[in-house]
Amino acid sequence: MGVRKEILSRAYIVFYLFALSGLVIFGKVIKIDTIDRAYWVERGDSLTIKKQEVLAHRGNIYADDGSLLATSIPFFDVRIDLNSSAMAADSFFANVKGLSEALHRDIWPTKSVAKIEADLRKGYKNKIRHFLIKRNATYEEVERIRTYPLLRLGGYKGGLVLERKSSRLKPYKNLASRTIGRKDDHKDPVGLELSYDKKLSGVNGQRYVQKIGGSTYVPIDGLKNIEAEQGADLKTTLNVNLQDISEHALSQVLKEHEAEWGTAIVMEVATGKVKALANLGKGKSGYYEILNYGVGRLYEPGSTFKLATMMALFEDKNLDLDDLVNIGPGYLKVGSGVVRDSEKHPFTETTLLEAFAVSSNVAMAKLANHYFKDGDGPDRFFKYMRQFKLKEKTGVEIPGEPMPDLYSKKEREQFDSKKGTWSSIMSIPYMSHGYELRLTPMQLLAFYNAVANDGYYVAPRLGDNIQKSGKVIEDLSKNSKAVKIASDATIEKAQALLREVVLNGTGRNLISKDYSVAGKTGTTRINYSNKEATRKKYTASFVGYFPADNPKYSCIVVVNDPKKHAYYGSKIAAPVFKEIVDYCYATNPDLMQILNNKPMLAAADLRIPVFKVGYTEDLQNIFGYLGLKTRKSNFSQWSLIMQDTADFTLEPRIIKEEVIPNVVGMGLKDAVYILENLGMEVKISGSGRVVDQSLDPGLPINSKKIFLTLG
C-alpha cells in the first residue's frame, strides 16, 4: 500500500468515525425531540411556568350618602436583598451611609445612624436577602423609600424587594366597625364584610406566569388567562352622622354609668333601613365595638315587652284603653314569686292606658293571668307573638342573629336546656312583662317599628344596593315586603299607649315642646335568679319612635348593667335616645317642618347679632341658611348688620386704600386682616369685638400704628 493511500484511507476512517459520532449526537437530538419530548416539555413547564391567582379587587362599602366606610388599599412589606447578585459591592459601600441617614430620618428616628449603618453592613456581610425596612408601608411611603441612596439604583442593583399586600381600610376607623365587619385571614370574619362577601370579593382571576430567572415571573400571553372580576360595591343604609351621634351619646352614658355594654339602633320607619347601629362594650381601657350586641345579643326586654302583651290583649279581647285594671297593693303573688311594681302608686285601680304609662308589672301580670293563663290562653298568646313577628329572626344582614328565645311549653320540650322550664302558673304572668323570654334589641325594635309604621312590619336591613362602577346592579330594598301584624284598631291603641308613656308616664323626660316622641322605657333585673347576688343588676332600655305622628325613625337604646348613679331606662337609655332625636331634628329638613311652620322670629328666641360687621358673603350665607330675609343697598365686601321691624339690612362697610377704615364692630380676625393689608401695625387690648380704634376712620394713613380696644 502506498504512503499516500495509507494516509488517505486512515483519514477517511477518521472522517467516518466523526460522521458516525455526529450521527449519534443528532440521533440523541431527535430522540429528545420525539420520544422524550413530552416528558421534557412538561418538566420544563413545571419548572418555569406556574399558575398564579390574580386577586380580585374587593368592593367598597359605602354609607347612605356615599361616604366610604371600607375600602381596600395596597400595602407593602419593604425589604432589601443585600445579597442581590446585581448589587455591586462598590455601590453598597458608597451608599450605605446615605441610606442609613435616610432610614434614620424617615423610618427609625429612634435608632442612630451609626447603628443602622452597622446593621446594614452586618446584613451585607451575612448575605441577608430579606433585610426588613418596613411592614405595611403605604404606596406613598414606598415611593419615598425608592428615592433613598442605593435603593434608587432600582431593580436588582438596588436590591429593593416589595411584597404587595392588600389591606382593608376603614376611613372612619371604629365607626360602626363591628357592623361593617371584617374579612381577613387572621380573624373570624364578621359583619357586612362577611354577609356580603360573595358580592364584595369578586372573582379571582388566573394567569400563567413564567419564571425568567431568580424569583422573577412575567405573565405569558396566549395561554388561558382568566381576568379577575372586581368585587361589587355595597351601599349600606348607615348614616355616618347618625352613627357618630349614636356612638358618641351611647359612649357618654356607658362611661358615666360604668355599664357593661350598650347598643343604639336607629331605623327608618317606612323602609326598615338601619341608619345607625352602635355597639359598645367595655374593653380594657374604654368602650369599643367589641360585639354586635344590637343584632347578636339576646336579653330580657322587661317592660318594653309589655307593648306586645297589650297588643295581644287588644287583638284577642278588643279591650279598651279606658278599661280598668286593679293593681291592688302594688304586688302580686304568682306561685313562688312576687311580681312588684317598681314604684308605689297612689291608686289601686287604673285604666289600661295609665297602667302602661306607669309601667305597672302587676297590671300586666294580672291581665295576662286573666286572659292567657288557662285553657288555650298560652296558645293564643304565642299565636299573637308569632303574628307580631316576635318569634322569628329579623334577617338583618349581620351573621349570627339568634332566634328569639320566646317559646311555648311545647316548644321548650324540644330543647334540652329548656326542658321543664315552663310553669303553668308563673310563665305567662312573667312573660307578660318581659321576663322568661329573650329578644335581641334589633328584633324588639323591628316590632316597635311595625307599630310606628301603622302595623306594617318591615324587616330591618343594612344593605341598600349593590353597585358596580357607580351603577346600581341590584336593589336590595326589593327584598323586604311589608307585612301587617295587627289590626288598625290595635295599632291605634298601641300608638296611643306609647305616646302616653312620654306625655304622662315613665318617659316624661323626653318631652320637648318642639317635637313629639312615643316609646317605652324598660328596666330589667338581670340577676334575679341569683339569690345571693350582693348587687342588683339591671338592663336599662328605651325603645320608641319619632315624631309621634307620622313617625320617621324608630330607635332602641339598651344599656346593660349600669353600675353608677341610676339604673332606670328613663334615666339611662332615654337620654341617648333624646340625643339621637335632637340630632335628627336638627339635620333633617323634613322633621324641621314642624319648627318651620311656626313664625320664625317668634318661635325661636333668636338673638341676631345686630350692629356687627362681617364679611358680606359669609353673612349672606348664614342668613340664607337660617331662612331670614336680608336686604342690602349696594354691594360691598364688608357689611354691617342692621335690623329694622321686619327685616335685616346689610349696610355696606366700605374699605378704601390710603384711608383709615372703620373696623368697629368687627371680629379681631377681620379687623387685623384689613388693617395689616393696608400695611398697618395693630396692637390690641381686651377680648371680643372691636369697640374702639385709636385712629379715627376716614383719615389718611399717616401713622402706621393703630390701637384697638376689644370688648
Partner 1 sequence: MSLVQNVKQNLKGDRNIWVIFAFLCLASMLAVYSSAGIMEYRAGGLGVGYSILKHMLLIVIGGMVVYVVHQLPHRFFSAIAPTFLLVAIGLLIFTMFFGVEKNDARRWISLPIIGFSLQTSDLAKVAIVLFLARTISTKQAIIKDFRSAFLPLLTPILLVCILIAPSDLSSAAILFVTCLIMLFVGRIKMKYIMLIFLTGIIALAVFILLGDFVDGFSRVDTWMSRLSDFVNGAGSSDNTQAKIAIAQGGWFGIGPGNSVQRNFIAYPYADFIYAIICEEYGAIGAFFILILYLLLLFRCTKILTRSRKAFGALLAFGLCINIVLQALANLAVSVHLVPPTGLNLPMISMGGSSQLFTALQFGIILSVSREVEKNGLHKKNLKDESDD
Which residue ranges make up the site for partner 1 (CB under 8 A)?
2-8, 10-12, 14-15, 18-19, 21-22, 24-26, 28-30, 32-33, 36-37, 39-41, 43-44, 47-48, 85-86, 88, 156-157, 210-213
- Distance CA(360)–CA(352), nearest Å, equals 10
Exposure class string for 63-100: b at 16+ Cβ within 10 A, else e: bbeebebbbbeebbbbbbbbebeebeeebbeebbbebb
Say if residues 641 and 611 touch (Cβ distance below 8 Å).
yes
Say if residues 120 and 100 touch (Cβ distance below 8 Å).
yes
Q: How far is CA 688 from CA 515, 613, 618, 643, in A?
A: 35, 13, 19, 21
- Distance CA(256)–CA(563), nearest Å, equals 9
Which CB, 6 or 258, lies closer to partner 1? 6
Q: Environment class of residue 661 by beta-carbon count within 10 Å: exposed (0-12), middle (13-18) or buried (19+)?
A: buried
Which CB, 84 or 237, lies closer to partner 1? 84
Q: At its nearest, how many Å lie between partner 1 and the CB of residue 181? A: 45
Beta strands in 569-647, from DSSP E residues, in sequence order: 613-615, 630-632, 638-643
Cβ contacts of residue 139 below 8 Å, gap of 6+?
Answer: 73, 74, 76
- Cβ of 576: how many Cβ atoms within 10 Å? 29
Say if residues 598 and 627 touch (Cβ distance below 8 Å).
no
- Distance CA(392)–CA(446), nearest Å, equals 11
Q: At its nearest, how many Å lie between partner 1 and the CB of residue 10? A: 5
Q: At its nearest, how many Å lie between partner 1 and the CB of residue 398? A: 51
Which CB, 7 or 608, lies closer to partner 1? 7
| Closest CA relative to residue 442, chosen from 307, 352, 302, 555 | 555
What value does the CA radius of gyration of the chain take, rounded to a whole number of Å? 38
Q: How far is CA 461 from CA 444, 602, 631, in A?
A: 14, 41, 48
Name residue 710's beta-bridge partners: 690
Which CB, 1 or 602, lies closer to partner 1? 1
Which CB, 210 or 477, lies closer to partner 1? 210
Helix (H) or strand (E) holding 440: none
Which CB, 10 or 704, lies closer to partner 1? 10
Tell whether omega for the bond before 547 is within 30 degrees of 0, i.e. cis.
yes
Say if residues 326 and 349 touch (Cβ distance below 8 Å).
yes
Q: At its nearest, how many Å lie between partner 1 and the CB of residue 206? A: 20
Q: At its nearest, how many Å lie between partner 1 and the CB of residue 1? A: 10
Which CB, 25 or 473, lies closer to partner 1? 25
Beta strands in 411-495, from DSSP E residues, in sequence order: 456-457, 463-468, 471-475, 483-484
- Distance CA(575)–CA(581), nearest Å, equals 10
Q: At its nearest, how many Å lie between partner 1 and the CB of residue 16? A: 10
Which CB, 86 or 695, lies closer to partner 1? 86
Which CB, 10 or 165, lies closer to partner 1? 10
Cell of 542: 328605651
Q: At its nearest, how many Å lie between partner 1 and the CB of residue 33? A: 5
CA angle 632, 637, 643 (to 5 degrees): 35
| Closest CA relative to residue 624, chosen from 648, 599, 604 | 648
Which CB, 215 or 414, lies closer to partner 1? 215
Q: At its nearest, how many Å lie between partner 1 and the CB of residue 3? A: 5
Which CB, 17 or 73, lies closer to partner 1? 17
Which CB, 6 or 53, lies closer to partner 1? 6
Which CB, 33 or 374, lies closer to partner 1? 33
Say if residues 708 and 694 touch (Cβ distance below 8 Å).
yes
Say if residues 116 and 100 touch (Cβ distance below 8 Å).
yes
Which CB, 210 or 709, lies closer to partner 1? 210
| Closest CA relative to residue 250, chosen from 567, 572, 539, 564 | 572
Q: At its nearest, how many Å lie between partner 1 and the CB of residue 86? A: 4
Q: At its nearest, how many Å lie between partner 1 and the CB of residue 77? A: 24
Q: At its nearest, how many Å lie between partner 1 and the CB of residue 51? A: 17
Which CB, 37 or 629, lies closer to partner 1? 37
Q: At its nearest, how many Å lie between partner 1 and the CB of residue 42? A: 9
DSSP-derived letter for residue 659 is B
| Residue with grid cell 308616664, as numbered in its chain | 505
Q: At its nearest, how many Å lie between partner 1 and the CB of residue 7? A: 6
Q: At its nearest, how many Å lie between partner 1 and the CB of residue 147? A: 20
Q: At its nearest, how many Å lie between partner 1 and the CB of residue 8? A: 6
